[in-house]
Amino acid sequence: MSEQKANRFGFAINRSRAINYDTSDRKVREYVTLREPSFRLCFACGGCTAACTTGQHASFNLRRMNTYIRRGEIDNLREEVTRCMLCGKCLLVCPRGVNTRNVVAVTAEALRKLDRNEL
Amino acid sequence: MSSEIFIWPFNLGLYFILIYSVVRSTIWFRSLSRADKLRLQRGFFGMPFMQSIREIFMESLLHRRIFKKNPVLGYMHMSLAFGWFLLIVFGTIEADFFGEKHLNPPSHAIFFRWFNPEHGASGLASVFTQWMDFLLAFILSGLLLAIIKRFIPGMMGMKKTTKHTWTDRIALTSLWLIFPSRLLAESFTCGVHGSGGFLTGNLGAALASFLPAADMAPWFWWLYSLSLGTFFFLLPVTRYFHIPVELLLIFMRNSGITTADRWSAYSEVQTHACSSCGICISVCQMSRAAGINDMQSAYFIKGLRNERDIAAITANCLMCGRCDEVCPVGIELGPLRLIERRQGERPATRLKFIDRYGLTRRREQIEREPTQSYSYLVPEEEQQADVLFFAGCMTHLTPSVIVAMKKIMDSAGVRYRFMDEQGGVCCGRPLMLAGRDREARELINHNSDIIWKSGAKTLVTSCPICYKVFRESYYLEAQVMHHSEFINLLIEEGSLRLGYLHRRVVYHDPCDLGRGSGIYDEPRAVISYVAELQPVPEERSMSLCCGGSLGNLTLSSEKRALIAADAAGTLTRSAPDELITACPLCKKTFAQATETRVSDIAELVAVALPKPVRRTRSRSLANTVKVVADGL
Ligand code: SF4
Ligand code: SF4
Ligand code: SF4
Ligand code: SF4
């Protein structure tokens, strides 16, 4: 219950940590930006996360997922991307017109390609 | 008779296409499922057979459906198909009657005039000659239209025609040459012998007056035979293969075979039965409002047929179903696109020429790897209810619809449980539209479990997307109702008392409720009960898509806005007070595209409810808050 409360607006305080951009994997980000250019428009407002259907049942946060893609945090991404139900609520609330559902779909595709060494 | 060698291109072409058709049909038949095979066998010896014959006559020959859409286009197809059919039938009769012997080979009927140049001087024979000339003129008039259409497509009321491959072009040229060369061949022969009807006789006499008709005639008979032969030989590799395949499709469909959800021989027959007529292109809002001209069903089907990489085309479709509605061949375009979406990313291998056009081709079935998993969902506690109300994800973004539904149900005294009040789980249809049926099943199971356990008799939903999937893909004992149906029921049984609003309103049929589920009358009955309902230009089965569709994963928000503006513009042309819809997604999409007030049918009805009686102060305060919330 307390976790649900903390997650009510999709925001929770993250632990601080350092990101090493030299070692991060950019392949997924490049693939996603190529296939869904609107991904670049996201300004991390969190509207999608606040509206999210999945967020009410599990720890899932589209805004966080977008950040993982940008930072190339592949392992975190792998877990995150499987939870979305593609319901489309985020699409309707996004103020920047990001095609959010396709970001999820393309990310999943990118990860599969990564595993097959096709990326 | 060495001059008769000219019949051989025709003969070879004819035998080739006959043998090819038989072999290909046999292969298709053998790869049908056992149940479909039985259907087809039963269909062949019963009523479906008669229905098929009738449909072939009405659609493949007379082209009634195209006629209804567009009389000029209909005439063009009819004159070519029905005219040619009659020419063959009467040509055969003529050859049988007036030829040297009965039961001639087909070439004797086709080249009858060459073998009987003097024929038709008097009596029945001359009547026949005039009739054959008339049929030829009939076909030529359609051909003229076809040529005009090729060069000025706008004339037939269609903005776009489909692109041709080079084999299509050669086949088209040979098809176009068949009848003019027959005309000239017959005319020259008639000119030499002074015979012929009103067309060939007069033209022949005129030509013979200044040309060496006797020398010219054989050349045109050769051309006639060659163009027929070429056409027959190329038939299997061009779009004209649709002519014989459509007959097979009609038999299969009337026997009760459907596309279902897997690639089958029936799917393959459908892709080959498409005539590339382009009617689906002209109704598609993606082209008319958003300027996207490469993903319409005609191109999708062509890509399937030619084994191209069509992943982008497959994904870029609203799944609105308008093209399904108009396709004159009756191809199940939506289901075919879903089958293709389920395949996932296809390995980029091209089939070799021989495989692509040969007889061995078999489309491989690739299973998409699962990408999503919802194992985090915990089953809910059992809670009994007679009526379950499922708002749906989208409706949670339009809280005023939920408030309106609560008011209506309270006012009618319905005892219900709000299934997803605390936020439910998606119905699964968005995943299915993306081709992820396996993942959707997880959500379907979760929701079904809640519904089964509740023992509900009725499941009411406010979202047409949920409605369609509840009805089609859930196994429920409860009767599934969209809220427009439910409100209509409440009005009919007298549990809802409503006032009359003096407003002029128009109604927009949501894709999944109208075309998708066939619910057209109930919403109209409800609206007419409380307000003045005006007609709109494209409604019911041809209603427009709002552009917000979840069926399209890749469409950008800019293009969606263009489609929404175009649709909203059409709907509000009569400047109504309010635009009513029955889908939260349509409401949201239209609200951003038009100045006209957009409401859900439930909101309209809630306004028509009698004003609540004031009771206590705190109660009325709560109502005020609610009213303010509604206004927001
Ligand atoms: S589509 Fe996915 S991310 Fe968007 S609201 Fe639905 S569950 Fe959340
Ligand atoms: S709502 Fe749109 S802009 Fe905001 S975080 Fe989500 S995707 Fe980014
Ligand atoms: S799919 Fe139907 S409407 Fe479209 S081109 Fe083919 S036959 Fe015509
Ligand atoms: S379903 Fe709609 S969007 Fe898709 S091709 Fe047909 S008409 Fe166009």
Whether the predicted pLDDT of A102 surpasses 80 = yes
d(CA B109, CA B448): 65
pLDDT at B613: 63
| CA torsion, ordered B502, B505, B509, B514, to nearest 10 deg | 30
Q: Counting beta carbons within 10 angstroms of the beta carbon of residue B263, is it exposed (0 to 12), middle (13 to 18) or buried (19 or more)?
A: buried
B624 occurs within a structural domain: no
Q: What's the pLDDT score for residue B67?
A: 85
Same domain assignment for residues B451 and B316: no
Q: Which pTM value belongs to this model?
A: 0.85
The CATH number of the domain holding residue B524 is 3.40.50
In which domain, by residue range, is B286 found? 259-368
Best of B346, B393, B443 to disrupt the A interface by mutation (most A CBs within 10 Å)?
B393
Helices H, strands E: what count in chain B?
A: 31, 8
Are residues B25 and B136 part of one domain?
Answer: yes
DSSP string covering B179-241: HHHHHHHHHHHHHHHT---TTHHHHHHHHHTTS-HHHHHHHHHHHHHHHHHHHHHHGGGSGGG
- Position B1 scores a pLDDT of 42
Q: What is the ipTM of this complex?
A: 0.86
d(CA B117, CA B186): 9
Contact B548 A87 (CB under 8 A): no
How far is the C-alpha of B632 from the C-alpha of B143, rounded, in Å? 61
Report the chain B residue with the minimal C-alpha distance to residue A56.
B423
**pLDDT score of B357:** 44
**Mean pLDDT, chain A, as a whole number?**
86
Please give the average pLDDT of every successive group of 10 residues along chain B, which has 632 residues: 76 94 90 90 87 90 86 90 93 85 82 87 86 94 89 62 75 92 94 90 91 90 95 87 90 92 88 89 94 94 85 94 93 94 62 44 55 86 90 95 96 94 93 92 95 95 97 95 97 93 95 96 96 93 95 94 96 95 97 95 95 57 54 52
CB contact residues (below 8 A), chain A span 52-91, against chain B: 53, 56-58, 81-89
A112 CB near a chain B CB, below 8 Å? yes
Q: How far is the CA of B59 from the centre of ligand 3 (A)?
A: 14
Residues 6+ apart with CB under 8 A from B325: B283, B515, B541, B542
First to last CA, chain B: 91
Q: Is residue B631 part of a domain?
A: no
Half-sphere exposure of B316 (CA within 13 A, CB side): 24
- What the block records as the tokens of B613 is 């009686």
- Looking at beta carbons, which residues of chain B come within 8 Å of A115? none
Cα angle vertex B349, ends B345, B354, to 5°? 135
Rounded to 5 degrees, φ, ψ at B477 are: -85, -30
Would you state the pLDDT for residue A1? 43
Residue B266 shares a structural domain with residue B222 = no
Rounded to a whole number of angstroms, the distance between the first and last alpha carbons of chain A is 41
- How many angstroms separate the CA atoms of B444 and B448, rounded? 6
List the CATH number of the domain containing B322. Answer: 1.10.1060
Q: Assess whether B401 and B534 both reside in one domain.
A: no
Instruction: Give the pLDDT of residue B139.
Output: 95
CA angle, residues B428, B479, B455, in degrees to nearest 5: 85
* Residue ranges of domains in chain A: 25-115
Q: Do A112 and B369 touch (CB under 8 A)?
A: yes
Q: Label each residue of A57-89 as H, E or C.
A: CCCCCHHHHHHHHHHCCHHHHHHHHCCCCCCCH
Contact list in B for residue A109 (CB cut-off 8 A) is 345, 371
Amino acid at residue number B279: I
Where is the domain boundary, B447, B463, B492?
B492
Phi, psi of B278 (to 5 degrees): 85, 5
Output the pLDDT for position A7. Answer: 61
The answer to whether residue B589 sits within a structural domain is: yes
pLDDT for position B492? 95
**Whole-number pLDDT of residue A38:** 95
* Assigned token pair, B343: 């395949």
Does the residue B291 lie in any domain? yes
Give the model confidence (pLDDT) of A15-58 as tens digits: 667 777 777 788 999 999 999 999 999 999 999 999 999 999 99
Q: Whose CA is nearest to atom 6 of ligand 4?
A: B323
Nearest CB to B430: which of A88, A92, A93?
A88
Task: Write down the pLDDT at residue B184.
Answer: 94
Mutate to test the pocket of ligand 3, among B242, B327, B333 (most ligand atoms within 8 A of CB): B327
Residues B13 and B143 occupy one common structural domain: yes
Distance of CA B397 to the CA centre of its chain: 32
Same domain, B509 and B599: yes
Whether the CB-CB separation of B491 and B483 falls below 8 Å is answered with no
Residue B354: the pLDDT is 43
Asked whether residue B630 is domain-assigned, the answer is: no
CB B323 within 8 A of CB B284: yes
Other Cβ atoms within 10 Å of B264 Cβ, number: 21
Q: Is residue B3 part of a domain?
A: no
Q: Do A102 and B554 touch (CB under 8 A)?
A: yes
Same domain for B189 and B122:
yes
Residues of B in contact with A38 (CB under 8 A): 556-557
Token pair for residue B382?
């059992």
Closest CA to B370 of A116, A33, A60, A81: A81
Q: Considering CB atoms only, which of B345, B423, B585 is closest to A56?
A: B423
What is the C-alpha to C-alpha distance for residues A90 and B372, in angstroms, rounded to an integer? 17
User: Quick one: pLDDT at residue B162?
Assistant: 63
Pocket test for ligand 4, best of B293, B301, B320 (most atoms within 8 A of CB): B320
Structure tokens at B280: 């689906």
B461 SS3 class: strand
B175 CB less than 6 Å from ligand 4?
Answer: no
Asked whether residue B513 falls in the same domain as residue B488, the answer is no
Question: Count H helices, E strands: chain A?
Answer: 7, 0
The H-or-E segment that residue B72 falls in is helix B71-98
Instruction: Please enumerate in sequence order all residues whose Cβ is within 8 A of that of A93, keeping only pairs 6 or more positions apart, or say none.
Output: A47, A48, A50, A51, B397
CA of A91, nearest ligand number: 1
Counted domains in chain B: 4
If asked whether residues B218 and B343 sit together in one domain, one would say no
CA dihedral sign of residues B613, B617, B619, B624: positive
